[in-house]
Structure 1
Amino acid sequence: MTTRRPPDQRTVAEVMTTDLLTVTAEETVPMAWELMCRARVHHLPVVDGGGRCLGVVDAATLTATWEPSSPLGARRAVTTLLPRRGPMCVRPEATLAQAAAAMLAVERDYVTVIGEHGELVGLVTARDLVAALAGVPGPDRTRGSCTPSMYRIEPVLPERRRHTAPHSAVPPD
């Protein structure tokens, strides 16, 4: 039986989410919204080609800035929603208190976790901190890697078919 250390002695690495859904800077706002809805997440890190975090789009910002007025406005890049200054970052060895202080400093409910080369390795949210404080076990850390997942969804339209008679299990003569 393992005992958990008190929250003031725990590190960010112990509570951070490592299996992240991320998008690239070129992704559109509607696609970010669709991904967040389908994955049931409230935070979507935006990364560059090298895996460095440019910022995080959160559900509150996305819904507050939604502009369905024109097709071009709706198709704007997700980077238009990012704060002007880069994301607040902590290292995996930071304490939970340091992560909480970083969140308070930028008035956000999340902080990104970066590796030694500046690459995104995780995300800590206010929910993660509350769970750690309550002693609620986090997700299973043994199942995956620390590399954020990169997904790209593109619409696929069905092939145009000629109008034919309904399909039959019997082949034509």
Structure 2
Amino acid sequence: MNIEAPTESRTVDELMTRDLLVIAASESALMAWELMSKAGVHHLPVADDEGAFLGVLDAQTVAATWSASGPLHARRPVTELLPDRPPRAVRPDAPIPEAARAMLDAGADYVAVTNDAGGLVGLLTARDLVAALAGVHREAAPPSGGMPSMYRMEPVLPRQTPRRPDGGMPPD
């Protein structure tokens, strides 16, 4: 019989989410919202063009700073929504109570998990902690050793059909 250790005696590595969707720093707040909505996530790590971890954008921040004042506001870069202070982070081998304290100190429902070089290897969220406390076992993605997946989405526009000078449609 395999009895699992109590949550408070486990490490971050055992509970963290490794399979992350990451957004480029140059992307817009609108793109961040679209990615979060489509992927069903509440936290979106932000990386610069070289892949360096800059911080985490959460859905609450995007919603709280949203403005219907026009498209320019929605197109501002996601880096404008990141906090001015460096993101709180813990190492994968940190005990769960240390990570929980980091979340409380930061007033956040997540903490970034970084390696010794400061590279992002995962996120530990309040949801991860609640799942562990409830005894819910999630399939953890195996450690990849690399940067989480970063996606760049490009809009696909309908093909423009040329019109004749008289305004009619060209023959097929």
Question: Normalization by structure 1: what TM-score?
Answer: 0.88
- 1:136 aligns to 2:136 (yes or no): yes
**Which residue is equivalent to 1:107?**
107
Contact 1:53 1:87 in 2 (8 A): no
Q: Counterpart of 2:33 in structure 1: which amino acid?
A: W
Alignment of 1:1-173 (within 5 A): 2-142=2-142, 145-146=144-145, 147-162=147-162, 163=169
Q: Partners in 2 of 1:50 and 1:93 — Cα distance?
A: 26
Q: Counterpart of 1:31 in structure 2: which amino acid?
A: M
Q: Deviations over 1:68-101 (max 9, x none)?
A: 2022212111111111101100000001101000
SS at 1:60's partner residue?
A: helix
Q: Partners in 1 of 2:6 and 2:141 — Cα distance?
A: 19
165 and 2 in structure 1: CA distance in 2 versus 1, 3 angstrom threshold: farther
Q: Deviations over 1:45-87 (max 9, x none)?
A: 1112343321111111110110120222121111111111011
SS at 1:38's partner residue?
A: helix
1:165 positional shift: 6.9
Sequence identity of aligned pairs in percent? 55
Q: Partners in 1 of 2:115 and 2:40 — Cα distance?
A: 26
Q: Partners in 1 of 2:73 and 2:141 — Cα distance?
A: 40
Q: Counterpart of 1:35 in structure 2: which amino acid?
A: L
SS at 1:127's partner residue?
A: helix
SS at 2:69's partner residue?
A: coil
Q: Partners in 1 of 2:141 and 2:154 — Cα distance?
A: 30
1:133 positional shift: 1.6
Q: Partners in 2 of 1:18 and 1:41 — Cα distance?
A: 13
**Cα RMSD over matched residues?**
1.7
1:125 positional shift: 0.4
Q: Counterpart of 1:26 in structure 2: which amino acid?
A: S
Q: Structure 1 residues 92-101 or 145-154, which shifts more?
A: 145-154
Q: Partners in 1 of 2:68 and 2:11 — Cα distance?
A: 42
Q: Partners in 1 of 2:34 and 2:129 — Cα distance?
A: 27
Question: Normalization by structure 2: what TM-score?
Answer: 0.88
Contact 2:17 2:140 in 1 (8 A): no
Count of equivalent residues: 165
**Which residue is equivalent to 1:170?**
none
